Amino acid sequence: MSTSSSQRTRTATPHRRLAESIWGAATPLVLAGTLAAVLAVGGCAGGSTPAVSSSVALRPAPGAGAPGSPAAAQRAGAAAGGSHAPFVASPAGGLGAGALEPGVAVSGTGDPAVAPGQVLHGPRGRRWIALTFDADMTHAMQGALRAGRVPGGWYDRALFDELRATQTPATIFLTGLWTAQYPDVVRRLSADPRFELDNHSVDHSAFATPCFGLPTVGSTAAKRQEIASARAAIRRASGHTPRYFRFPGGCATGADVRLVRSYGELPVLWDVVSGDAFQRDPDVIVRSVLDSVRPGSIMVAHCIGAPNTPATAAALHVLIPRLRGEGYRFVTLSRLLSR
Ligand SMILES: [Zn+2]
């Protein structure tokens, strides 16, 4: 590793400007967390410790705003690869998602930061990978769009062009607001068998706090609404019923997991963090993925494009042929997880 701590600190400046243009007064702590998470998961192939003070910076900050879930991603990634037996590989049968393939890893009670009962990755015995892309949209993002502050919209056309051009299956976690904003896009995605559409709540509010300053869902009734309304919107727009759910920010309690499961949807996290939030250098994303990908991995990224995730498509342009060259096959989540 040649990147020094001071070099990393300096790179935070453009991230901060980006964030402020979209999110209002984002706090340095969250921005540091975003950067630290990106670095922590992608920056140190040699195994050296990230020089930034990630133990502080990765802690979610109440009252601040950030899209996606880099720190939660880091926690989940750590849980998936940790040494304290955090998962149980037993099938979670009887769900709407159907019986699970043997070897699917589900979070257990070993890590208090990750609610138990969520899928972390698929079986390790075959070189399959599920690429997942979150279509985040908060009310703040919707407001920015309506005010004309997001010229390209929150739809990453280049990313979907890349997936189509390379015949790459992917799973898209849709928020209800994104689905309502881009119904034609959702319809086209649903007509393409390579893409699978799943549930990412209505407006990307956090089910548990603290969660990166995301607005919080206050009551169980409101949580039900977040799950059921998004499910209905996706079904209306696409004709497909979601099988999987991803908690905004990855933030949830065990009760939240059970609530989602009561709708027949299986909560899914990830074990590979792309680190694409506010990352403008595709090489950083490529390194992050290549450093952590394994057979059965679930990669988390976003399909909202610039300014929040401007380099995802460019990273895929490198990653897809590279991983295929290493013998990996891309599959949808249901292909990865179901029997
Ligand atoms: Zn999200």
Return the CATH number at 205: 3.20.20.370
From ligand 1's centre to the CA of 249, what distance in Å?
A: 6
Protein residues within 5 Å, CB atom, of ion ligand 1: 134, 136
From ligand 1's centre to the CA of 276, what distance in Å?
A: 12
- Is 153 within a domain? yes
Report yes or no: 192 and 9 within 8 Å, Cβ to Cβ.
no
From ligand 1's centre to the CA of 70, what distance in Å?
A: 10
| The token pair that represents 328 in the structure block | 């990996």
What are the start-end ranges of the H helices in 274-311? 282-292
pLDDT at position 111: 84
- 88: which strand partners? 106
- Is 61 within a domain? no
Q: 236: phi > 0 → left, psi -120 to 50 → alpha, else beta; which?
A: alpha
List, as one string, the DSSP characters of 153-207.
Answer: TT--HHHHHHHHHTT--EEEEE-HHHHHH-HHHHHHHHTSTTEEEEE--SS--BS
Task: Name the domain count of the chain.
Answer: 1
From ligand 1's centre to the CA of 1, what distance in Å?
A: 30
- Is 274 within a domain? yes
The whole-angstrom separation of Cα 299 and Cα 302 is 10
From ligand 1's centre to the CA of 174, what distance in Å?
A: 9
- Is 27 within a domain? yes
List, as one string, the DSSP characters of 104-171.
Answer: -EEE-SS-TTS-SS-EEE--TTS-EEEEEEEE---HHHHHHHHTT--TTTT--HHHHHHHHHTT--EE
From ligand 1's centre to the CA of 4, what distance in Å?
A: 30
- Is 227 within a domain? yes
Cα 44–chain centre separation: 21
Q: What is the CA radius of gyration of the chain?
A: 18
With 0.85 as the threshold, say if the pTM is over it.
no
Give, rounded to a whole angstrom, the gap between the first and last alpha carbons of the chain. 42
From ligand 1's centre to the CA of 118, what distance in Å?
A: 15
Domain that holds residue 270: 5-55+68-77+99-337
Q: 315: phi > 0 → left, psi -120 to 50 → alpha, else beta; which?
A: alpha
The whole-angstrom separation of Cα 240 and Cα 277 is 28
- Is 91 within a domain? no
- Is 62 within a domain? no
Task: Give pLDDT tens digits along the chain (339 positions).
Answer: 343 333 333 333 333 333 333 332 233 223 333 333 322 222 222 222 222 222 222 222 222 223 334 444 444 444 443 333 334 444 444 444 568 899 999 999 888 889 999 999 999 999 999 999 999 999 999 999 999 999 999 999 999 999 999 999 999 999 999 999 999 999 999 999 999 999 999 999 999 999 989 999 989 999 999 999 999 999 999 999 999 999 999 999 999 999 999 999 999 999 999 999 999 999 999 999 999 999 999 999 999 999 999 999 999 999 999 999 999 999 999 999 988
From ligand 1's centre to the CA of 248, what distance in Å?
A: 5
- Is 82 within a domain? no
